[in-house]
Structure 1
């Protein structure tokens, strides 16, 4: 028998269930996709398959201290659901918000939890996707067919994070924990803690643990750019004082934030030195003039070359200023029984080490894809606007923005997919895929993203897994929401790039 990739403990396969659309994942993208189908395509049958025991994705799996968004919820929230809390929200608040969307749109009957998908096979004769899954709660195999597959599984592996292999890790006598595998009930009160890393996770964990731990040290190989701001928005507070409807508040504040983000991003390219000095001045105002800003908070790259972490109310820097946390900029020589020896010769003592060192990129949810019996070489395809791929029929993929909230693009893709399904229905087409047009065949094919534009470690480690891009806007994953919000609705579904059958 061929290897199906199913868990060996799985029992017999139940009867095949068919749906017009199958959505993979019940995180922020999948719940949004389900809402768009319900409201824009009433009568379309669909199911959402989620490997975890509940909805939420990142906000369900991440349990580390202080877990919060580093995007404001006016833009990370859906455009159709007003956000009424502080702009930077805790995971529990985001889960409550998503739960309200599910309840309001009556999405719960469409979601199947504990469904781990192993294979997805496209058959051109039947014009169908067939997905094999295991119900991890019962061990039973499940089979689904669908006309259209909507990949909303995110971009990283939830089950494990990225931790480098350092010499001597087995010698360390305390606990080593990655934020993605935070053990329930792990105590750190009175302990000496080292947090390795300087990204958004580290910037969240350090102030959350500071004060309860004996001391928290953020150990970084190189600094990250941080942006400090109040966890509140003046205009939102003023509009609420005037009893303005929350739908209006959400839209006005959302537009204001997006406008200011676009201006800031443009400035980071056009006047990076001035932006850098402004960011450093905000840090200096909290930690003091005598603090070594140059060593610990001045990155080697320009602002927005990697993701810029937002620090609400400057809590990370408040902890540093208070002495409950400190920053060490150095490289690791090896772990020791009592902590970490640095290449400078300094040894940091610790009882607990947190490796906030990044994600493992996971582009297709660890699902084995085949097209007419042939394994899908995803990295050999060319992307159409970062959501469809040459040679892959009846599938859309949600991949958000690097410099703006993920959900902004999830909403745009939701509108596009609903339009595409309507176009197929009008044509009587059962299959659609994107293909290079005659004028595109001499187009240079490039990596998914220009490393000179954006180059975080998780993306550089996994670039070989991602599709190619061309040098034309329609064959790229554009990072500019301000333009794409107008470009996506104007996509010509009759363009030769779309091949209907």
Structure 2
């Protein structure tokens, strides 16, 4: 797997949490509404002034302001020392007005840990760009309420209201054309080109764009919507909770399971595409060698190869934007360079993405290379089909149980049934996005320390079985691994991969394969040998550059900047924002992140098409630096430093919507 990350990606030592030991104790009786009212009055005055010091003075010295599109037209995060300069660059021109407290949800005191608490306030305001909103978290500092984290974003673009809810289309009475015929005609784009081309999936993004009145076209090489889920191993299911995985405009039914099987997901995606009237060309791909960007018209000319009734039809289209919605990593299944003897090996070798399941492998000896989620899922399925399984672990893996990790996976209860009954999932997204990512990582360290206690028996059993675990980069658990690599972790359940390893049903080796030998033998890096019928590589994917090359050509791929990992301000690089290629966006992530990301990409495209958006605020040198991070490197057990938080740190005292999942 080739994923480009920044050199500065994970250290959270400089993040100061406003704990009681740091001098930030919440009073016993706090009038959250009064705190919110006072804040909004000061915030309105500060944002409508021309003096950045007024805004900076509202924040703690260790406070942060995160903006998503509202002021910066980008994903940016600033610490207090930078705010005065940033303010003068971007705030006055926005003409801020009507700053008000929002009651969805109302202001409240939150104490997720006994030594850590704040007052959370949602607010709205109007700006040149449109209707905006945000979240502030306040703590008491020497008798004065100060903002610890401030978040701002766009809700509605000026002049562009999405067509849903009160603004839904009226419909048509006495239509002359049957609906199915109308949809078939629209899907062909016979009389006009699409506005945007979306490569691969991107259903949520297409739905958001259609709500803005755009005409996106999805091009997918699969023969059926959802086949990228159907064609994987039969035991695959989502590893995120249902409450965080809803698609825009169409949430899952309330009687669905918390963890959804892959086949059920696939069928839902197919239903979603039909319900949203999305235009999709299946069994189609793009000839990247013919893709051209015209600087004068700011549009892409692209050649789409479409299979219709067994015939390949080429269609040249002009679109203003291209979005690559290529899954978590992008590219194709990654196979390491061939090893000695691999080409002539008598057994079978393939990538886990090509593995449909363990049926028919009863009694077969299988080597699974890798130790993250796919490797575990495939191994469990093989054991259930009575294969003899060996897992080859090449580096330590972060492991947690679903039982212990449920508060973390639900974002501290943010994505749960209780919260779903309080407010829509989009509000939950707002709360989660309201934390700067590095602050979220600092909070994740506490959760990880708790997990090491809660899962102590599990981790000890894995160690005895020869399986190496660790607490993740800087002790942040799976969060940094997800943001840096899109893998390197596994969540286990009773009877899952970890239990099978501990029981010996899955054998574990450490190291690498050094050669493939006659008689189906495999030699390992320690010199030992064993015999296998099948070798499965759970080695990830090649990355985004290959996807860009395939779709837009090698010249465009050369312009691609860093993708994945965090930049110097703690924001994800190249995803849902400018990535170095004009009018091209990458839509990357799980269901949860794709939901909010899809609207953000749609708004950027709408704004660029009508030329009202403006350029993203560019990074610059400030009087004092913003965020600093040190490199996160994979470590084995001997190199791993002790966590920097107390082992006695408890999990969330109640559902507190930390947004750390």
Q: Same fold (TM over 0.5)?
A: yes
Structure 1 residue matching 2:237: 3-state secondary structure: coil
Alpha-carbon distance, 1:224 to partner: 0.7
Q: How far apart are residue 91 of structure 1 and its match?
A: 1.6
User: Any stretches of 5+ residues in structure 1 without a counterpart?
Assistant: 1-13, 401-405, 444-448, 457-480, 486-501
User: Mapping of 1:308-457 within 5 angstroms?
Assistant: 308-313=489-494, 315-336=496-517, 337-363=519-545, 364-367=547-550, 369=552, 375=556, 377-379=558-560, 386-389=575-578, 392-400=581-589, 406-424=590-608, 434=615, 437=618, 440=620, 452-453=631-632
Q: Tell me, yes or no, if the aligned pair for 2:400 and 2:451 is still in contact at 8 Å.
A: no
1:134-183 residue CA offsets vs partner (Å, 9 max, x unmatched): 11442221111122323323354565333342223245322112112226
CA contact (8 A) 1:296 1:327 kept: no
Q: How many angstroms apart in 1 are the aligned matches of 2:341 and 2:585?
A: 44
Q: Which residue of 2 aligns with 1:68?
A: 237
**Contact 2:320/2:583 (CA < 8 Å) preserved in 1?**
yes
Alignment of 1:283 with 2:458, yes or no, is yes
Q: Which whole-Å CA distance do the structure 1 matches of 2:247 and 2:189 have between them?
A: 35
- Shift, 1:320, TM fit: 2.6
Match of 1:70, SS state, is coil
Change over 3 Å in CA distance of 1:86–1:395 after alignment to 2:
same
- Partner of residue 397, structure 2: 224
Map 1:102-501 to 2 at 5 A: 102-107=273-278, 110-119=279-288, 120-136=291-307, 137-154=310-327, 156=329, 159-182=332-355, 187-230=360-403, 265-269=441-445, 274-275=449-450, 277-278=452-453, 280-281=455-456, 283-284=458-459, 287=461, 292=464, 296-298=468-470, 302=475, 303-304=477-478, 305-307=480-482, 308-313=489-494, 315-336=496-517, 337-363=519-545, 364-367=547-550, 369=552, 375=556, 377-379=558-560, 386-389=575-578, 392-400=581-589, 406-424=590-608, 434=615, 437=618, 440=620, 452-453=631-632
The structure-2 alpha-carbon separation of the partners of 1:51 and 1:212, relative to structure 1 and needing over 3 Å to count, comes to: closer
Q: How far apart are the structure 2 equivalents of 1:57 and 1:413?
A: 23
Q: What is the distance in 1 between the residues matched to 2:594 and 2:538?
A: 26
* Deviation at residue 15 of structure 1 after TM alignment: 10
Residues 157, 354 of structure 1: alpha-carbon distance in 2 compared, 3 angstrom cutoff: same
Say which is worse superposed, 195-204 or 350-359, in terms of deviation. Answer: 350-359
Deviation of the 1:33 alpha carbon:
0.9
Contact between 1:193 and 1:213, CA under 8 Å: does it hold in 2?
A: no
2:507 aligned counterpart, secondary structure: strand
Does the 8 A contact of 1:390 with 1:435 survive in 2?
A: no
Gaps of 5+ in 2: 1-187, 483-488, 568-572, 636-656
In the aligned structure 2, how far is the partner of 1:399 from the partner of 1:237?
20
TM-score, normalization by structure 1: 0.68
Describe the shift of the 1:100–1:204 C-alpha distance in structure 2 as closer, same or farther (beyond 3 A). Answer: same
Aligned residues: 418
Tell me which residue corresponds to 1:25.
Answer: 199
Answer whether contact 1:173 1:338 (CA < 8 A) is retained.
yes
Contact 1:160 1:180 in 2 (8 A): yes
Judge which range, 93-102 or 50-59, deviates more: 50-59
Give distance in 2, aligned partners of 1:87 and 1:441.
46
- The match for 1:34 among 172, 195, 206 is 206
Q: 1:93 offset after TM fit, Å?
A: 1.6
Shift of 1:227: 1.6
Q: C-alpha distance in 2, partners of 1:409/1:252?
A: 13
Q: C-alpha root-mean-square deviation of aligned residues, in Å?
A: 4.6
Task: Indicate conservation of the 8 Å contact 1:390/1:436, yes or no.
Answer: no
Query: 1:101 corresponds to which residue?
Result: 272
Shift of 1:116: 0.8
C-alpha distance in 2, partners of 1:57/1:31? 13
SS at match of 2:456: helix
Pick closer, same or farther for the CA change 1:435–1:210 going to 2, 3 Å. Answer: same
For residues 292 and 327 of structure 1, the distance between their equivalents in structure 2, rounded to whole angstroms, comes to 11
Q: Is the 8 A contact 1:330 1:344 kept in 2?
A: yes
Q: Quick one: distance in 1 between partners of 2:372 and 2:577?
A: 30
Cα displacement (A) at 1:57: 6.6
After superposition, the Cα gap between the structure-2 partners of 1:256 and 1:310, relative to the gap in structure 1 and judged at 3 Å, is farther
The CA deviation string for residues 165-221 of structure 1, in whole angstroms up to 9 with x for no partner, is 222324532211211222689621121211111011111111111132342111112
Q: Deviations over 1:349-368 (max 9, x none)?
A: 22222111221113444335
Whichever of the two has the greater Rg, that structure is: 2
Please state whether the residue corresponding to 1:25 is helix, strand or coil: strand
> 2:292–2:302: 8 Å Cα contact kept in structure 1?
yes
Q: Which whole-Å CA distance do the structure 1 matches of 2:336 and 2:193 have between them?
A: 39
Q: CA deviation at 1:255?
A: 9.3
- Shift in alpha-carbon separation, 1:358–1:26, aligned structure 2, 3 A: closer
**Structure 1 CA distance, aligned partners of 2:226 and 2:330?**
14
Please give the alpha-carbon distance, in whole angstroms, between the structure 2 residues aligned to 1:366 and 1:390: 14
Q: 2:226 aligns with which of 22, 38, 56?
A: 56
